[in-house]
Amino acid sequence: MKLTDAEVVQKLADLNTDTRRSWQLVDGKLKKQFEFGSFILAFAFMTKVAMLAETLNHHPEWSNVYGRVVIELITHEINAISEKDFILAARIEAMAV
């Protein structure tokens, strides 16, 4: 179910309570850039996220260049941000620590 703009703003604030977190709302998607010390570390992170995404049946849009991974989340079925996106973002954060 599509979240209202107010719900998205509140959930984004809740997600970003830790100052190291920097999820943003960009072009109607949740977006964050992660930095790792090497391609291998970035790829290992992506592998963990891929396994999680399969488990949740909710898949990110992402890109990888060397140690950088950019993740964008949107619920494609409704072409909007839903609770699924915030659940996945929070779980991704837990993996990135």
Q: Residue 1's pLDDT is what?
A: 84
Reported pTM: 0.92
Domains of the chain: 5-96 (3.30.1360.20)
Whether 85 is catalytic is yes
Whether 76 is catalytic is yes
Per-residue pLDDT tens digits for 41-75: 999 999 999 999 999 999 999 999 999 999 999 99
- 41 to 38, 65, 68, 83, 97: CA distances (angstroms): 5, 12, 10, 28, 12
Q: Residue 19's pLDDT is what?
A: 67
Per-residue pLDDT tens digits for 18-34: 766 799 999 999 999 99
Whether 83 is catalytic is no
**Token pair for 26:** 């960009």
* Active-site option among 35, 61, 77, 83: 77
Per-residue pLDDT tens digits for 86-97: 999 999 999 887
Burial class (CB in 10 A: 0-12, 13-18, 19+), 94: exposed
Widest distance between CA atoms in the chain: 38
